[in-house]
Structures are given as C-alpha cells and as structure tokens.
Amino acid sequence: MHENKETEKYIENIGIQESPHRLWQGRFSVAPMLDWTDRHCRYFHRLLTKQTLLYTEMVTTGAIIHGKGDYLAYNKEENPIALQLGGSDPQALAHCAQIAQERGYDEINLNVGCPSDRVQNGRFGACLMGEAELVADCVKAMQDVASVPITVKTRIGIDEQDSYEFLCDFIDTVVQRSGCNIFTIHARKAWLSGLSPKENREIPPLDYPRVYQLKKDFPQLTIAINGGIKSLEEAKQHLQHVDGVMVGREAYQNPSILAHVDHELFDSSIPVVNSVEAVRALYPYIEQELSKGTYLGHITRHILGIFQGIPGARQWRRHLSENAHKLGADISVVEQALAMVTERM
C-alpha cells in the first residue's frame, strides 16, 4: 500500500497548500470541459501546478437541487477551484451558489458560452448572450448570497449578433446591473444552430484582437481570454493584453504543459514539476479511490497524455488503454506502464 505521506511530501515540495478563499486566481486556468475535468482529472492537474485555477465541468442547477448524486464533490487538494454553473433561474442559481460557497469553492462561474442544443433547451449557455439583463439578474442573485467571486464565461457573439458593439452592450449591461467585474471570453462566436459543440470550438474564427479591445475599453474589468491556445509562449503573448489565460483541450491532452505553468507564468524560482514524480504522487489517491469502488480506467484516462513527445509514451498509453478497464485492474497496471517510460530515460 502506498502511504499518503508520499503524496504529502510531494505536495509540500512543490508548495501546494490547502487554499483559503482569495481574490481571483485566474492568471492561468484550465477550462471547464464536460466529461473531462472531473474530480480525478483535477486532482492530477493539481499535482502538476499549484497556481492554476481549476474549473469543474459545467453542473446544472437542476442536477444540484434535484439530482440523486453529489455533483459538488471534490477533494480539498484541488483548491483553488471554481464551480461552473449552468442555469438561468436567479433563485435556483443563488441557492446553488450558497451551497457551493459552504462547500469551499473559491469561485462560482456562470456558463454563457456553451452552444449545445440540450443547453439551449434549458435556456442557458451561449443563448443567454441574447438576454443580458437576465444574465445580470442571475449574477446579482448569486452575489447577494455568496462572498466568493461570481464570474461569467461567455463568447464574443452568437449567430448574426456578432458585432463588437453587441459584445460591448452585453458586457456593459451585465456590469451596470450586477457589478460583475470578472469575465472569461472565448474568442469565437457561437452558432446556436447548424454546428455541433465540437464544431463551435473549431469553425467560427478566433478573434483575439476583439478581446484585447474589450480590455482596453473596459480597463476596470478583469478579462481572461480562451480559445485555441496551445502553448505557454502563446499564453505569455496574450497576457500582454489581458489579465488571464484559460486553456482547454491542450491542457487536457498534453497535461505536461501544466508542469511548467508555475515556473513560467508565476514565479521562476518554482521548479518545473517532474512528470514521473507527479504520476507516482498519484498512487495513494488511486489506491484510495479503488478501495471505494472506482474503476482504474476512470482515473487513468486523464493521465494518458502526460508523456506526450517522450520515448515510451506510446507504450504507456497503450498499456493503460488496454488494461486499466479490466476487472480487478489495480495500481500495478500504472506501475507497469510507467516502467515503459522510465526504462527509456
């Protein structure tokens, strides 16, 4: 059995501590991604970076209020962590915000960017860009019951409403009616019909200059940029224009990028995290979860890309993919896969 002391020592070495509530952490963040950024994913990401703000998957107010499961469960080691809520009923959002604050979340984010049909049918996500006053009412209702930052993640436009003036009007209305001062802007518009969520992440062109201009015109706001960012060098360029950078798919598919974040973007005296050590530091968590009945594959699917570009990475991925789902799969599967990397170092 791998002792939890191993993880505690590792966490101490890279400076990770349980985070108290604090001012906004989002100079660099990992985007909320449905079916990807679950608690297992976030726990591993936190082993790679202390400073990065981590987001949950989007959770609907209905799931929290009426669902049978605990949709707000997370590990204290994940802080700083933001809950992304989906909803458009101010009272329901306020109720969920109150619960989330009591559970220790560091931020509550309203989803005004998801373009899926299912989300639209629930009257939330990107379609809310067309109802700025309602968005403001939702934010205000949450602010009235919670002291942690209430933030908004949105697009630069929807359908034919994609002018810079439309974006400014949306932001100004939300700010004036609610006092919200933190926005993450996905630098693409959303097509609410005709494109799938995946296509909406790729087909509408990126317009970074529009987000930069928004920061110039609303200098009092904290603005983070999201969409298509694939490296920390790109992040540094964006940070010359805006306050924060949110990275999605690249951070998930190539999580080793996160091992460099603290050193590159926060404090050059912080050492780059060793990916092999991070995997080994995950062992106690894996064994703890297995003892609760979690399937190994539910955890290891989030670490497949950690050795991207390193000799042995293909064998690592293959061994985990072929064996982690098998009945009775345990920590030895990960140890065997890791040996395929370390023996080539």
What percent of the chain shows pLDDT beyond 90?
Answer: 83
Query: How confident is the model over 100-119, as a mean pLDDT?
Result: 90
Highest mean pLDDT among 39-53, 105-119, 180-194: 39-53
Of 114, 127, 138, 180, catalytic: 114
CA distance 100 to 282: 26
Cβ atoms of 107 and 149 closer than 8 Å: yes
Q: What is the pLDDT of residue 4?
A: 53
Mean pLDDT computed over every residue of the chain: 92
CA distance 297 to 320: 8
What would be the CATH architecture of the domain defined by 28-266? Alpha-Beta Barrel (3.20)
* Residues 277-297: tens digit of each pLDDT: 999 999 999 999 999 999 999
96 included as an active-site residue: no
Decide if pLDDT at 13 tops 60.
Answer: no
Query: How confident is the model over 248-269, as a mean pLDDT?
Result: 97
Decide if pLDDT at 233 tops 90.
Answer: yes
Binding residue ranges: 32-34, 84, 153, 186, 226-228, 248-249
CA distance 313 to 279: 13
Residues 308, 313, 319, 320, Cα dihedral to 10°: -30
Q: What is the pLDDT of residue 20?
A: 34
Which residue, among 200, 246, 201, 205, has the nearest Cα to 222 in the 3D structure?
246
- 345 vs 261, higher pLDDT: 261
Binding residue ranges for FMN: 32-34, 84, 153, 186, 226-228, 248-249
- 26 vs 123, higher pLDDT: 26
Q: Which pairs count as long-range contacts for 120-126, CB under 8 Å and 24+ apart, including other chains?
A: 120/192, 122/60, 122/62, 122/86, 122/87, 122/88, 123/88, 124/60, 124/86, 124/87, 124/88, 125/86, 126/154, 126/155, 126/158, 126/190, 126/192
Decide if pLDDT at 237 tops 60.
Answer: yes
Which of 53-67, 187-201, 276-290, 304-318 shows the lowest mean pLDDT across its residues? 187-201
Q: What is the DSSP string of 94-110?
A: HHHHHHHHHTT-SEEEE
Query: How confident is the model over 298-310, as a mean pLDDT?
Result: 97
Helix, strand or coil, per DSSP, at residue 244: strand
Cβ atoms of 317 and 254 closer than 8 Å: no
Beta bridge partners of 151: 109
**Pairing between β-strand 182-186 and β-strand 81-86 as defined by DSSP bridges:** unpaired
Instruction: Dig out the tokens for 104 from the structure.
Output: 């220790």
Give backbone dihedrals phi and psi of 102, rounded to 5 degrees, phi first: -65, -30
Give backbone dihedrals phi and psi of 87, rounded to 5 degrees, phi first: 170, 170
Which of 165-179, 195-209, 324-338 shows the lowest mean pLDDT across its residues? 195-209
Q: What is the pLDDT of residue 192?
A: 87
CA distance 303 to 46: 12
Instruction: Dig out the tokens for 150 from the structure.
Output: 């209430």
Amino acid present at 119: V
Q: What is the band of 120 on the pLDDT scale with cuts at 50, 70, 90?
A: low
Q: What is the pLDDT of residue 187?
A: 97
| Crossing angle for the helix pair 132-143 and 90-102, to the nearest 10 degrees | 40
Instruction: Count CA atoms closer than 13 A to 13's CA, side-chain side.
Output: 15
Q: What is the pLDDT of residue 202?
A: 82
What percent of the chain shows pLDDT beyond 70?
Answer: 92
Q: What is the pLDDT of residue 121?
A: 67
CA distance 345 to 334: 17
Cβ atoms of 153 and 112 closer than 8 Å: yes
Instruction: Dig out the tokens for 40 from the structure.
Output: 């297992």
Query: How confident is the model over 238-253, as a mean pLDDT?
Result: 97
Decide if pLDDT at 16 tops 70.
Answer: no
Domain ranges of the chain: 28-266, 275-343
Q: Element (H or E) spanning 247, and its range?
A: strand 244-247
Q: What is the band of 9 on the pLDDT scale with cuts at 50, 70, 90?
A: low
* Residues 25-81: tens digit of each pLDDT: 789 999 999 999 999 999 999 999 999 999 999 999 999 999 999 999 999 999 999
Tally of residues, the chain:
345
